[in-house]
Structure 1
Amino acid sequence: MEGPRLCFGDFNAILHYLETQSTRQPHIAQINVFREALESCQLEDLGYKGYPFTWTNKRPSDANTKLRLNRVVATKGWIENFQASNVVHLFPHALDYIPIAIQVQKFRQKHHRADRGFKFEEIWLLWDECEAQV
């Protein structure tokens, strides 16, 4: 498939050991298979802002497991086209999955001079070219 691509959702897999909080050890082979699948599709994880886990089994104390299963991945072409985009983990609102939001922006917002307002300096009245400009 050609061109920039973005994929998101529940991949039901983790990329790193740090994406789990559990008494059970993650299966390294499954992590490696998922990583290889993303690499073969030339997809990169976009990261996130917010709470580190997107799923919980909601069990008490030591039986509780938390994982980062939801994610957003994209090709280099997509990342280059939408440099200012980011992913945010939202609040769960009593769900076992935390919803994610993708804020897609091509470029960072620049503050224009007009956004700050115009300030007139009285000393400008002493300049010879001031009257001609006004």
Structure 2
Amino acid sequence: MSILSWNCPGLGNPATVQVLVDLVHSKKPSIIFLAETFAGTNKLSPIKTKLGFHGLFCVNNEGHSGGLALLWKEDTKVSITSYSKHHIDATISLSLVDIEWRFTGFYGAPERHRRPESWALLKQLSTTSPLPWTVMGDFNDILHQDEKRGGNPQPLRLISGFREAVEASGLRDFGFNGYQFTWERSKGTPQWVEAKLDRILNTDSWCDLFPNAKAESITTARSDHMPLHLQILPPDTPNPKSGFRFENLWLREAHCREIMIESWSKTYS
């Protein structure tokens, strides 16, 4: 299975919907998290059908801003546990391998003065379940100064505050292949700014559960944010231990009979 996370520029534009259709066709995600949909259930329901998805949970937009959505395929069991304007939290069950874990789609407050609210939300969510946990989305924050290019340096208080929230939540950054600066503004001008605002965070227990997981960023033409695609590969199935098989041919070897008789006599003495 896989998860697609994207801060899309509103789903009222048919061209944006077509980009999403193309992403689903090429990456075949089982779960999609969308931020800044600028839409509610009425508008997203026909899009869900067009994408071929079974489940839909929406946090409605407020005017021309906000809006979150979580979509999932019919063969994926999703149970919504909590939500707000900035997150959707769900328990994911993989019945075929009897595995249960937790997914949170996250959208950090874009206003700098409200960033501490996002950090507090992340820390609060970390206390609500012991399940292996992965968090994806647009955090509107960076963890290191080199995750931003152009414009003024990120205030250290914002970097420190976000980093402390991630560590306090028991999460760690999950790297991805592809272009690392997932958001941009004013490309092609002297004011061009890029930053790694979109990312994936995991607990150690999630990484232990899915050691073969891998992720990538995807270039699109319809958003200032790049989608992230997390591919969740099942754990390696250990090969069954082969049982010992005695071959009669071995008795033809010199001293083999004596060695076997001596070994068996020690085993059963």
TM range, smaller chain:
0.7 to 0.9
Q: Which residue of 2 aligns with 1:102?
A: 230
Q: What amino acid does structure 2 have at the position aligned with 1:34?
A: F
Residues 14-35 of structure 1, C-alpha deviations (whole Å, 9 max, x = no match): 0111111113111111011001
Matches within 5 A, 1:52-131: 52-107=180-235
Runs of 4 or more, structure 1, over 6 Å off, are: none
Matches within 5 A, 1:8-23: 8-23=136-151
- Determine if the alignment matches structure 1 residue 31 to structure 2 residue 159: yes
**Identical counterparts, % of pairs:** 28
Moved more, 50-59 or 66-75: 50-59
Residues 29-86 of structure 1, C-alpha deviations (whole Å, 9 max, x = no match): 1011001001111011101100011100134332010001010101000010011111
Aligned Cα root-mean-square deviation (Å): 1.9
For the residue of structure 2 that corresponds to 1:45, the secondary structure is: strand
Higher relative contact order by CA 8 Å / sep ≥ 6: 1 or 2? Answer: 1
TM-score (norm 2): 0.39
Q: Which residue of 1 aligns with 2:37?
A: none
Structure 2 CA distance for aligned equivalents of residues 31 and 76 of structure 1: 22
Larger proportion of strand: 2
Q: Which residue of 2 aligns with 1:50?
A: 178
Unaligned runs of 5+ in 1: 110-128, 130-134
Paired residues, number: 111
Structure 1 CA distance for aligned equivalents of residues 166 and 234 of structure 2: 23
Structure 2 CA distance for aligned equivalents of residues 51 and 68 of structure 1: 9
Structure 2 CA distance for aligned equivalents of residues 24 and 85 of structure 1: 35
Q: What amino acid does structure 2 have at the position aligned with 1:38?
A: V
Unaligned runs of 5+ in 2: 1-128, 238-248, 250-269
Q: What amino acid does structure 1 have at the position aligned with 2:227?
A: P
Structure 2 CA distance for aligned equivalents of residues 59 and 93 of structure 1: 12
Moved more, 53-62 or 29-38: 53-62
Q: Which residue of 2 aligns with 1:119?
A: none
TM-score (norm 1): 0.76
Structure 1 CA distance for aligned equivalents of residues 213 and 226 of structure 2: 19
Structure 2 CA distance for aligned equivalents of residues 108 and 85 of structure 1: 11
